[in-house]
Structure 1
Amino acid sequence: MNIVNSLRLTFAAAVLTAASLATTSAQAQAPLKIGYTSVEYVLSQMPESKQIESDLKAYNSQLEAQLKSKYTEYQTKGEAYQKGAATMTDVVKADKEKELTALQQSIQEFQRNAEQSLQQKQQTLLKPALDKLQKNIDAVAEENGYTYVLNSDGASPVLLHGPKDGDISDLVLKKMGITPGANTVKQAPVAPATAPAPAPAGKTKTKTK
């Protein structure tokens, strides 16, 4: 999961409204002026992006460790069941099978929830950076007389064409005290915690009731 890429949809609506806060009087006195910015570019320049990426990777590692622990427990109990199944009473055998089934379901549920949990963590980590970016886009738009600011990122960008002097990306960075091109961060993908589909080792199969 690429942090910057995953923000495109999040910012699509936010950036569209970035300069709509210009005063009514200013709009009446000046002609319509439309600017655009690459949200992806600006975010990659912000120093916060590196820390966000690091924190997100650390959280993903925690999820992977929890999943590994669950899977190890399942394998250990599955192997123990296989070795002792022949000497178990029907009651004990049924109880062990029920326990293994419950563990298997727990692993599957954890895997389903891991990606959602990672996305929620990402949103929490990103909020301060998003608020900062929105605030500076608003400020640059008002200071430079832009009535609207569009986002030029994405497979289906809001902006289809625009003059170079309409690009306010570097103005936004300078407004935040960032030298354009100085803090580019290469984003590494962060995949949600996953593990092989659990199944007891050997030939003995658990019963699903």
Structure 2
Amino acid sequence: MPKIPLVGLVLLALAPAAAAQQRVGHVDSAVILEQMPEFQSAQQEVDRLGERYQAEVDASAREADEAAAEFTAREILYTDEERERALAALADRRQAVDALRRRYFGPEGELFREQQQLLRPAQERLLAAVEAVASEGGYDYVFDRDGDYLFLFAAPANDLTDRVLDELGVGVGSPGR
């Protein structure tokens, strides 16, 4: 049996690992976006909209508070029927304030939609730049360090989806694919 030097064994053992090495990089998108003038101006517009919407909600809430204070001050003068109507009107005002708040600041509210529309071009430009740098540099994956460590780029050659579908015996052309 031929003797293989220890270094040769180590090299043979490492050869598959070396061939399987992948290049991974990361960026901090928050730092990059802070330096992009178009993102900054869009963010300022979103901030202005948020302030305007908040001022409108605050004014509506103040009006509801003033109506409640007026009711409390005169409550003793109302008949039972007038009191019921006044309380219903106060409840309607509070609901209107809540509806306005949801309309502007809810998960699908106007501020969210405006933010998506205004910020998207800068975000898409950033993503295109990441993809260009990753492709030029031979990176297989690029993560975003800002927040939840999202993939910003993954080399298509590393996509195992079709192979996993085959392994599961599920057709590659299945719905949703």
TM-score, with length taken from structure 2:
0.60
- In structure 1, what is the equivalent of residue 35 of structure 2? 45
Residue 53 of structure 1 deviates from its aligned partner by: 2.4
The answer to whether structure 1 residue 141 and structure 2 residue 120 are counterparts is no
CA 51–78 in structure 1, closer or farther in 2 if over 3 Å, else same:
same
Does 2:50 match 1:90? no
The equivalent of 2:121 in structure 1 is 128
Higher helix fraction (1 or 2) = 2
Q: 1:141 to 1:103 in 2, by over 3 A?
A: same
Give how far 1:104 is off: 1.8
Structure 2: tracts of 5 or more residues without a match: 1-20, 152-177
Larger relative CO (CA 8 A, sep 6+): 1 or 2? 1
Q: Which residue of 1 aligns with 2:169?
A: none
Q: Whole-Å Cα distance in 1 between the matches of residues 39 and 150 of structure 2?
A: 24
Match 2:89 to one of 85, 93, 99? 99
* 1:1-209 to 2 correspondences below 5 Å: 32-112=22-102, 114-116=105-107, 117=109, 118-154=111-147, 157=149
1:23-77 deviation per Cα after TM superposition (whole angstroms, max 9, x unaligned): xxxxxxxx74333222222112111232122112111111212112211221232
CA shift at 1:86, angstroms? 2.6
Q: Which runs of 5+ in 1 are unaligned?
A: 1-30, 160-209
CA shift for structure 1 position 112: 4.8
Q: Deviations over 1:9-30 (max 9, x none)?
A: xxxxxxxxxxxxxxxxxxxxxx
Paired letter, 1:72: R
Residues in 2 aligned to 1:77 and 1:140: alpha-carbon distance in whole angstroms: 60
> Cα RMSD (Å) of the superposition?
2.6
The one-letter code sitting in structure 2 at the alignment partner of 1:41 is: V
SS at match of 2:39: helix
Q: With structure 1 as the length reference, what TM-score do the two structures score?
A: 0.52
Identical aligned residues as a percent: 24
